[in-house]
């Protein structure tokens, strides 16, 4: 039985959750501290905790969009010790910095393979990128918003039944719902179309969590 009576979680609730949660990993704090001044967007801390929890038991993960490796580390910290991640980002300078942070967190290099190519090119070049062959049991997408739909179609053939697909920024700071104004070409229309398509796709059981900037979760039926 619902006990909400119109209740909506507030900043007080979020602060209580933050205080109750385990302390943030020191290396995640380092990445967070570096990302802001450098203008690098990273995953919201609350969304990061969700990602870590969802990675439990997921041994083969593919990630589209590495940046400074914050979300990659969230996933690696939740995975079993024998889990592996393939993460895709064309910016080698960023992923090299990310590798340094992963090492500081004690993640062996062998657990994380970096593919320094645009994601759609990497998925198309299957012969030259064997690490992307799969199969994967979790996929995380956080890259070019207008390419989300294309990323998903490239990932689907590489998923095992029961795999989980997660996409970040699907609320786009209130622009997707119309709560805040958007402008042409800012990715809002693409995200709206992506959300609607996945939520109605018979291949998935999907929902959107209003956590961080919005996380779409889609379980792959196979």
Residue 62, token pair as written in the block: 């593919």
Looking at residue 47, what is its pLDDT? Answer: 95
Position 121 in a domain: yes
Looking at residue 3, what is its pLDDT? Answer: 59
Q: Do you find a cis peptide bond into 135, omega within 30 degrees of 0? A: yes
CATH number at residue 133: 3.40.50.150
Position 42 in a domain: yes
Looking at residue 210, what is its pLDDT? Answer: 93
Position 4 in a domain: no
Position 21 in a domain: no
- Give me the residues of the chain with pLDDT under 50, please: 1
Collapsed DSSP state (helix, strand, coil) of residue 144? coil
Looking at residue 1, what is its pLDDT? Answer: 45
Position 213 in a domain: yes
Terminal Cα distance for the chain, rounded: 32
Dihedrals phi, psi of 69, to nearest 5 degrees: 80, 20
What are the tens digits of pLDDT across the range 13-55? Answer: 989 998 999 999 999 999 999 999 999 999 999 999 999 999 9
Phi-psi category of residue 62: left, alpha or beta, with phi > 0 → left and psi -120 to 50 → alpha: beta
Q: How far is CA 207 from CA 104, 135, 173, 211, in A?
A: 35, 23, 17, 12
Collapsed DSSP state (helix, strand, coil) of residue 160? strand
How many domains does the structure of the chain reveal?
1
How far apart CA 23 and CA 108 sit, in angstroms, is 22
Position 142 in a domain: yes
Host domain of residue 95: 26-220
């Amino acid at each position: 039985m619902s006990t909400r009576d119109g209740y909506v979680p507030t900043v007080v609730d979020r602060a209580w959750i933050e205080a109750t949660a385990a302390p943030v990993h020191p290396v995640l704090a380092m990445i967070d501290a570096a990302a802001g001044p450098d203008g690098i967007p990273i995953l919201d801390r609350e969304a990061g905790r969700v990602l870590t929890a969802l990675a439990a038991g997921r041994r083969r993960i593919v990630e589209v969009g590495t940046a400074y490796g914050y979300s990659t580390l969230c996933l690696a910290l939740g995975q079993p010790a024998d889990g592996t991640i393939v993460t895709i980002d064309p910016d080698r300078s960023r992923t090299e910095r990310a590798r340094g942070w992963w090492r500081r967190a004690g993640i062996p290099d062998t657990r994380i393979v970096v593919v320094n190519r645009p994601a759609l090119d990497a998925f198309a070049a299957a012969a030259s990128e064997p690490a992307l062959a799969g199969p994967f049991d979790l996929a995380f997408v956080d890259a070019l918003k207008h390419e989300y739909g294309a990323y998903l179609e490239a990932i689907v053939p590489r998923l095992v039944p029961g795999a989980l697909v997660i996409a970040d920024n699907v609320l786009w700071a209130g622009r997707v719902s119309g709560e805040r104004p958007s402008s042409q070409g800012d990715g809002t229309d693409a995200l709206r179309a992506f959300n609607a398509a996945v939520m109605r796709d018979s291949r998935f059981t999907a929902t959107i969590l209003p956590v961080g900037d919005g996380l779409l979760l889609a379980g792959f039926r196979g």
